[in-house]
A and B are shown apart, each in its own frame.
Chain A
Amino acid sequence: MSFNSKPPTASGPAHSRSTQERLTQPTGRGWDLTPLLWICCAAILVFIVVNPVARLVLSSFEVIDGTGYTVDNYLAAFGRWRHVQALLNTLVMATGVSLLAALFAVPLAWATVRTDMPGRGFVRLGVLAAFITPPYLGAVGWILLAGPNAGWLNKIWMAASGSDSGILNIFSLSGLILIMAGNLYFFIFVFTSTALELISSEMEDAANMLGANAFRTAMKITLPLVYPSIIGGVIVVFLQSIALFGVPALIAIPARYPVVTTQLWQFFESPVRAEVAAAYALPLLGITLALLGLQRRLLAGRGYTTLAGKGGERRIVRLGLWRWPMFAYAIVVMALSVLMPLVVLVQASLSRAWGRGFTWSNLTLDNYHFVLFEHVQAQTAIVNSVVYGGTAAMASLALALCIAYMVKRNVMRGAQMLAFLCMTPFVIPGLVLAVGFYAAYTTPPFSLAGTAAIVILAFTTRLLPIAYQNSAAGIASIHPEMEEAVRILGGSRATAIRRVVAPLLKRPLVGAWILVFIPACQELSTAIFLTGPKTRVMSMVMLDFSEEGRLEQLSALGGVLLVITVAIVILGFRIVGRDFMLRRA
């Protein structure tokens, strides 16, 4: 019903200029606050994005240990083939991760939202758990599973085949891609399933009537309708995989496959060259720009609004016997992304000594007791993580939503620029961004060193891109005609937003909040630089544990993080009247 052939709202005005102008004019009732909103958003972005990034740009031209400006840092960063090679490697890896993540996520999203596949709730829970499991732990789990010498899977293979060498080697590009995709596909899953939730069955019915089977309908009708969400998710995964450090540190180095983050880290080793790191990181902004341009091109000339004023029914597709192959596929994805690594995580967290394997004498609950009741820092860090993560998630979503609305409804010239600013932090590796924050806000008049404020600000900045992609996808799916109706009847834009847009966005927004909250709870790269003794977060304690080789306690803390996050997620959906993860109550 709403697959209209107008130009898409995703990339330009969806309606005539005159409507456009009428919409931006204040009407009798209520004051149009749009320009003020624009100024507020812009001011906030200047504070949390432009200023820290500007400091970075400036520092990338600074002479190391001296005064004056130079391009030497760029020569140092890109004048070596090794460094360029790392960049190319990263692009290959990120492409692989994005493709595999889409392959994992899209069928699962379709199956859990639109079909009668069995175990849908279980699959949703599993997908969420895959995302919450810190990637570092997932990587350790996979080393145990598919290490070339002692991996469990390889041992099974050797026993079964009589071969004296395993067949899997996690220390490889494909291993790297598998682990990262297994953690990140959640983004595409949530973007896609949120969009699928909003599509009514009418067009699918039409396809069915014309003789298409369930899969053909899905491929030709359902999935094309949610392209903007899939592409938005893929972009997020692509950029996230570029920025991740933990997994490459464990897998890419042994695989002898240098990537950008491992290269960046070396600039911080003695002799420290933060200026070169800035120079190396900043051109990555070009990648974001290119991706956003690509997104516009891909979506241009088609309409994707799925939620218009007229009613529509959403029915579940009956898969018949195909339910089971679909379920099997879901189980394979679950096993790869969460079940198998999670077994290792749980085993480690319940072990006295992880290396001793499964024995009764090795079983203990001490690790949980330790992180919950004994280790003072772990306790405060748990509270800090939840509070900072929650606050930053709210802040970044509020800001992203305002900007996404201005962009998608074209209410203000220059909104697109704000959107770009929102996406900027994504490709600036957290460590480098944190240096910018430190330079900008630890000196007077701000003097925010060691405060919760600077951590929350930095988290907000880090999460802004995810929040923005999500908000933009949400707003793009709502047809402007409903707001127009309000305006025609004399309501102000504020009324339209409050009474129409906000209620419609409530569900997608809770999904978005979770997407932002979970990475906030895991955020390490900015935290490591900006937290003080009183503001440590869980990821820092985990890093300490990992540096100290305390994998058992690290796993236990990971388990605690998992439980807390799931609890908060469930609570979130109860509040908006939904069952776990968007299922209808």
Chain B
Amino acid sequence: MHVVNPRISRRAFAAGAAALAATSSTRVLAALTSEAEKDLYAAAQKEGEVTLYTAHYAADLAERFGSAFTAKYPGVKVNVVRTTAQVAYQRLTQELKSGGPQVDLFQSTDIGHCVELKAKGLLEKYVPANATTMIPSLQNVDPDGFYHTTSIGIVGITYNSSKVQPGEVPKKWPDLLDPRWKNQVSVGHPAFSGYVGIWAYEMNRLYGWDFFEKLKANNPQIGRSIQDTLTMLRAGERSVAAGATQTALEAKLRGEPIDLVYPEDGTIIVVAPSAIPKGSKHPNAAKLLLEFFSSPEASVVSLTGQQDGIHPNTTPKGAKPFQDLKTIVSNANALVKGIPDIKEKWRDTFGI
């Protein structure tokens, strides 16, 4: 889900860095005038380093976040371990079993991980002061303050523009059920992809399981991850898909016949959260890092990787601004309760 066009990102990064540098004397200083932040920074400096497991970003973007943080808070080094969400979670649970976490800030793309960890009492509560600067609908995903949105993914309708005539482009989700798309729809699998799980959950919530019975009649291509749908569109093997908008946009900007639609009935926002594990070795540095990821500066860094920010007006080039979309941000607890059932029904319906 994390697309970085090397050239664009490099240029954008230079611009972003320059902007940061220009304002650093005023804005960072202003930011540091907060007493709480000064104290946190002082405590973090004593700890000297912080370890981040992240599934939010591509490896190079993740490293860029690390350097940006250390540039802002000299003396606190970030050990960035970029990996997939399952692996990050599995490593963390393994570490918790055997004598304390090695990780200080845990970033998953699967909110279920944080719900589980919280339920087991394995998370440290911390509400970043900067959280209030985020897009309002992304704030307070956990009312108890154990985990927080630090990145988002977007699921919309993607299509191969050389195979879909302008007049027949789907506008809303049920358009994918039109018989004209028989053998032409591509979707991921809810048991393999958190994105697809959330999408399927929301489709069921909006339209009932009938949506999938009708989808079955169209004989969809079922991939694993949501990214597989883009591969199918690019290959021309399928024409329309429920896909991630970021990578579709990226392909479109490269000049491929790929385009996307933000469905009228709701674009699915996938919340990717961060949390501090209980008993982490550098708790203050972890809090400071979480503050950083919640701050508008983090969204600026996100944009250098063509990735959506979580603050107002941080939409990457070519994407529709967040505030102009009808968005659906799912309730984390409802998702965790509902998705296992969705997976079972999915297997019953589609046989995989």
Contacts and interface: CB of A to CB of B under 8 A. Distances in A.
Contacts of B112: 270-271
Given A256-B351, A529-B90, A355 B116 contact: no
Interface stretch (A71-79, A289-297, A546-554): A546-554
Contact of A272 (B89, B102, B247): B89
Contacts of B255: 352-353, 356
Contacts of B350: 256
A272 B81 CA distance: 20
B230 A549 contact: yes
Contact of B192 (A171, A253, A548): A253
A253 B238 contact: no
B130 interface: no
B340 A140 contact: no
Given A352-B254, A435-B94, 9 more contacts: A249-B224, A271-B340, A354-B256, A355-B256, A439-B94, A442-B102, A546-B227, A548-B2, A549-B231
A131 interface: no
Given A266-B191, A270-B112, A548 B4 contact: yes
A532 B251 contact: no
B6 interface: yes
Contacts of A528: 83-84, 87
Interface string A129-152: 000000000001001100111110
Nearest to B108: A270
17 contacts: A82-B347, A140-B231, A266-B191, A268-B90, A269-B191, A270-B113, A271-B116, A352-B254, A352-B255, A377-B59, A442-B95, A528-B83, A533-B82, A547-B225, A548-B1, A548-B2, A548-B58
Contacts of A443: 98-99
Contact of A529 (B87, B236, B238, B251): B87
A265 B247 contact: no
B91 A438 contact: yes
Contacts of B192: 249, 253, 262, 265-266, 269
Contacts of A254: 221-223
B3 interface: yes
Given A140-B231, A253-B222, A355-B235, A439 B98 contact: yes
Interface in B107-165: 110, 112-113, 116, 120
Contacts of A439: 94, 97-98
B237 A375 contact: no
B172 interface: no
Nearest to A376: B60
Contacts of A450: 81
A356 B233 CA distance: 12
Contact of A356 (B191, B227, B256): B256
B183 interface: yes
Interface of A: 65, 82, 140, 143-144, 147-151, 171, 249-250, 253-254, 256-258, 262, 265-266, 268-272, 274, 352-356, 370, 374-377, 435, 438-439, 442-444, 449-450, 528-529, 532-533, 536, 541, 543-544, 546-551
Given A443-B98, A549-B3, A549-B231, A532 B236 contact: no
B263 interface: no
A266 to B, nearest CB: 5
A528 B86 CA distance: 10
Given A356-B255, A435-B90, A548-B58, A143 B6 contact: no
Interface in B205-251: 221-225, 227-228, 230-238, 247, 250-251
Contacts of A143: 231-232, 235, 237
Given A270-B110, A375-B60, A438-B94, A257 B352 contact: yes
Contact of A533 (B80, B189, B223, B227): B80
Contacts of B238: 149
A226 B232 CA distance: 44
A450 B336 CA distance: 31
A65 B119 CA distance: 11
A250 B224 contact: yes
Contacts, number: 158
Contacts of B223: 250, 253-254
Nearest to A450: B81
A82 B346 CA distance: 13
Contacts of B94: 435, 438-439, 442
Contacts of A265: 192
Nearest to A258: B352
Contacts of A370: 6
Contact of B90 (A82, A257, A274, A533): A274
Nearest to B162: A355
A551 B256 CA distance: 13
A546 B226 CA distance: 12
Given A353-B251, A356-B256, A548-B3, A253 B224 contact: yes
B48 interface: no
A544 B3 CA distance: 10
B234 A354 contact: yes
Given A249-B224, A271-B340, A374 B351 contact: no
A544 B305 CA distance: 14
Nearest to B243: A549
Given A254-B223, A355-B236, A549-B231, A529 B91 contact: yes
A56 to B, nearest CB: 12
Contacts of A376: 60
A270 B116 contact: yes
A299 B99 CA distance: 50
Interface string B1-21: 111101000000000000000
Given A143-B231, A549-B250, A449 B102 contact: yes
A291 to B, nearest CB: 28
Interface in B248-281: 250-251, 254-258
A551 B231 contact: yes
Contacts of B237: 143, 147-151
B183 A149 contact: yes
A171 B221 CA distance: 9
A171 B238 CA distance: 13
B93 interface: yes
B79 interface: yes
A442 to B, nearest CB: 7
Contacts of A171: 221
Nearest to B112: A270
A164 to B, nearest CB: 12
B194 interface: yes
Given A143-B235, A144-B235, A377-B59, A533 B81 contact: yes
Contacts of A442: 94-95, 98, 102
A286 B88 CA distance: 31
A372 to B, nearest CB: 13
A149 B189 CA distance: 21
A250 B254 CA distance: 24
Contacts of B3: 548-550
A371 to B, nearest CB: 10
A228 to B, nearest CB: 38
A550 B256 CA distance: 13
A444 B95 CA distance: 12
A551 to B, nearest CB: 7
Contacts of A147: 235-237
Nearest to B254: A353
A250 B60 contact: no
Given A253-B223, A435-B90, A533-B82, A150 B6 contact: no
B2 A269 contact: no
A249 B2 CA distance: 20
Contacts of B194: 269-270
Contacts of B87: 528-529
A438 B93 CA distance: 11
B133 to A, nearest CB: 28
Closest 7 CB pairs of A and B: A270-B112, A150-B236, A355-B234, A256-B352, A147-B237, A355-B256, A549-B247
